[in-house]
Amino acid sequence: MILKTCDSPSAWQDAGKNCFVRRGLMDSFSKFATWFVIASCAILPERPQAQVLQEEDDYNVIVVTSARQGGAQDARRFRKAAEDGMPRPEMLTIEGLMGEHDLTLPSTQKCEQMFCLVTEAMPASLPGRPADKLFVGLGFATNIDEALYKRPPLNLVAVVDKSGSMWGEPLELVRQSLRRIVSQMQDDDQLSIVLYGDESHVWMNPTKLKQNRRAILSKVNAIESAGSTNMEAGLKVGYDTAFDSQKGFPGSTRVMLFTDENANVGDTSAEGFMGMAIAASQRDVGLTTIGVGVIFDDSLATKLSSVRGGNLFFIEDQAAVEDVFSRQFELMGGELAHDLKLTIVPANGWAATGVFGVPDSLMTSGRDGAIAVTIPTVFLSNNGGGIYVTLGKSSERANLPVAAIDEDGWLMNVSLSYAEAQSGKAGTDQLTVAPPGAVASAPLRLSQNLVDQFLHMQSATTAYHIDNDPKRAFSILSDLENRLKNASLASLDSELKLVGNMRAEAAYYAGYSGELPENIRHRAISGRWKVVRATGFVDVFKGNIMTFETEEDDEGYVQTERVKPPRGVEESETEEFAVNEKQIFFKDSDIIFGWRLVGDRLYLKDRAVGSNARINLQRIED
């Protein structure tokens, strides 16, 4: 399709003499085109190492080394998906969302053993959950001094998916990760590399880092993509290598699996992989899973990371590689405690109405409202973690007021048992949760906001994908955005960006073009439009139907349908366009229009100097 402009409306009567098809505009368009295709990428500043947020806290605070449960350690996969559309509900875990924040609760007592609990309570404020009256944090602490901590020597087996789906950027991210790991490892550490695709084999035998870094990097750089994805065989070779190299090694052994998780050969079931991971954990071989690239599907990896000694990270670009392996590598294998069990018994008149921070499969209910939570592994971490419990009226008080809280009383008894990861020595702790203080600490307020965010992002993504109701998703996300803004916590800036991206996507598909942020407002031109006026063209007429289809890369197609066109003009033609928030470029016609959307009207004006060509359109509702 080529739109033909005329010098003036009067020239329509003499198209052969006065009409022209303009060329040579690409130079003037090139700056726009360059801006249009380049995506900005910001590297977040490194988070401070202080373990306790100090906002408004009036405590005699003892700073402790941070610890958190294993499993998903970030929500990067979900955030990346939100940049290009609406993420699916199953892509998000509460552990991953909280794992990106330091939630270390302030403590007034020093932890005297390997593992301790820190508690704090505040009034609950979770919209949609009226039964929740109190929000209780159960934080983790340790007597390990982070400044003096030196991990034991590491025997690391990197298991790398080199299949065809990893070709290009995903495999380059793996190579970058391995280079960073080599730079972080100590001289007495040991590294092996296993590759899997159609076949699985040891690419590099166990090699000490001392005096071998250059040779190791050469092997890393030589990894190339090929074959299908037999993850089962790759993990088996990886674990066999770990067991063999573990013998006589004076330190810890860990397998690190790099994959986009598109297993398509061999046993692809979760049960098969879980069996290997569980058996390996019983032989003191942990598993760190690194999800790679934008096509990563984290359902299996999330299950693997819940096994004792397991954790999960996601890398989508070079900035993520730097963050994960520069900040967190030294602590990835820092297993503090195994088989940690929390038993929670609310006071009379109270009941636990929710538990957040672990998968449902790790919780059981007992007598008298008791709840037992089992955490396979607790790791040293840059970001402190914990378990969060909401309390409400017990069933016997269903028709009575909320039980009174004695100022000197208690809300909940919590008992703890665990085994030290290195020695196997058993440890215990027990404490009571005191009533809320006058002002809740910043970490606890942040934690409650993150639980609120998780619950409502789950509801919004379910409304969008499962119920096919983008308007409801938009409403949920709008309310959530307002609450996060009103929380006045700087730690929520990244979450506001995430919710804003999701809200914009819901607004677009709900038809709320006025709610779209400027950078994606051009998507509102998508749909069917009727030409109500056309000036300066010989092949665009009143009554034509123009259908715009925009794609995720801000390009698309426009189809023009004409009723009884004049001789020589096609009834239907299609051409490509590129668009930003101010201009739209019809590629075949070589015309740049400025565009403006007012209600159900779309106005296009030719940007060429001296041209009066324009098209006015009205949206056709489906």
The answer to whether 78 touches 291, Cβ cutoff 8 Å, is no
Half-sphere CA count of 15, side-chain side, radius 13 A: 13
Q: Last residue of some domain: 471, 504, 537? A: 504
- Please report which helix (H) or strand (E) contains residue 35, including its range: helix 26-37
Specify if 510 maps to a domain: no
- Find how far residue 315's CA is from the centre of its chain: 10
Which residue, chain included where needed, has tokens 């990760």? 177
Domain that holds residue 243: 155-333
**Among 444, 551, 511, 571, which residue's Cα sits nearest to residue 137?**
444
Residue-wise DSSP of 354-394:
EEESS-GGGEEE-GGG-EEEEEEEEEE-SS--EEEEEEEE-
Same domain, 329 and 265: yes
Instruction: State residue 471's pLDDT score.
Output: 92
Specify if 391 maps to a domain: yes
Q: How far apart are CA 287 and CA 305, in angstroms?
A: 7
Instruction: State residue 295's pLDDT score.
Output: 52
Which residue, chain included where needed, has tokens 């942020």? 517
Same domain, 428 and 454: yes
Residue-wise DSSP of 435-471:
PP-SS--HHHHHHHHHHHHHHHHHHHHHHHHTS--HH
Same domain, 351 and 329: no
Same domain, 323 and 344: no
Specify if 299 maps to a domain: yes
Instruction: Give the per-residue SS3 of 145-213.
Output: CCCCCCCCCEEEEEEEECCHHHCCHHHHHHHHHHHHHHHHCCCCCEEEEEEECCCEEEEEEEEECCCCH
The DSSP symbol for 328 reads S
What's the CATH number where 582 sits? 2.40.128.50
Same domain, 99 and 205: no
Same domain, 329 and 341: no
- Please report which helix (H) or strand (E) contains residue 248, including its range: none
Instruction: State residue 294's pLDDT score.
Output: 56
Instruction: State residue 57's pLDDT score.
Output: 37
Instruction: State residue 445's pLDDT score.
Output: 96
Specify if 167 maps to a domain: yes
The residues that bridge with 445 in the sheet, in sequence order, are: none
Half-sphere CA count of 556, side-chain side, radius 13 A: 19
Specify if 605 maps to a domain: yes
Specify if 54 maps to a domain: no
Q: How far apart are CA 430 and CA 342, in angstroms?
A: 9
Instruction: State residue 67's pLDDT score.
Output: 65
Q: Last residue of some domain: 283, 302, 333? A: 333
Same domain, 346 and 328: no
Specify if 509 maps to a domain: no
Q: How far apart are CA 451 and CA 98, in angstroms?
A: 8
**Among 278, 414, 266, which residue's Cα sits nearest to residue 340?**
414
Q: End-to-end CA distance of the chain, in Å?
A: 25
Instruction: State residue 604's pLDDT score.
Output: 93
Q: What residues in the chain have per-residue pLDDT under 50?
A: 7-65, 264-265, 268
Q: How does strand 527-535 pair with strand 545-550?
A: antiparallel
Instruction: State residue 166's pLDDT score.
Output: 84
Does the pTM surpass 0.75? The reply is no
As given in the structure block, the two tokens for residue 537 are 């063209």
| Region class of 99: left (phi > 0), else alpha (psi between -120 and 50), else beta | alpha
As given in the structure block, the two tokens for residue 547 are 């259908």
Instruction: State residue 241's pLDDT score.
Output: 96
**Distant-in-sequence, close-in-space partners of 398: CB < 8 Å, separation ≥ 6:** none
Specify if 414 maps to a domain: yes
Buried-state track 334-363, b at ≥16 Cβ within 10 A, e below 16: bbbbbebebbbbbbebbbbbbbbbbeeebb
Instruction: State residue 449's pLDDT score.
Output: 96
The amino acid sitting at 226 is A
Q: How far apart are CA 192 and CA 245, in angstroms?
A: 9
Q: Give helix 270-281 / helix 231-246 axis angle, nearest 10°.
A: 10
Total residue length of the chain: 622
Q: How far apart are CA 267 and CA 276, in angstroms?
A: 12
The DSSP symbol for 565 reads P
As given in the structure block, the two tokens for residue 504 are 């914009």
Instruction: State residue 194's pLDDT score.
Output: 96
Q: How far apart are CA 458 and CA 455, in angstroms?
A: 5
What's the CATH number where 162 sits? 3.40.50.410
Q: How far apart are CA 74 and CA 557, in angstroms?
A: 37
Same domain, 317 and 342: no
Same domain, 169 and 26: no
Same domain, 261 and 388: no
Instruction: State residue 527's pLDDT score.
Output: 87
The answer to whether 158 touches 192, Cβ cutoff 8 Å, is yes
Q: Last residue of some domain: 280, 300, 333? A: 333
Q: Total domain count for the chain?
A: 3
The DSSP symbol for 491 reads G
**Among 409, 414, 421, which residue's Cα sits nearest to residue 378?**
421
Q: Would you tell me how many other CB atoms lie within 10 Å of the CB of residue 273? A: 23
The residues that bridge with 557 in the sheet, in sequence order, are: 549, 576
Half-sphere CA count of 162, side-chain side, radius 13 A: 23
Same domain, 362 and 415: yes
Phi, psi of 278, rounded to the nearest 5 degrees: -65, -45
Instruction: State residue 77's pLDDT score.
Output: 84
Same domain, 83 and 182: no
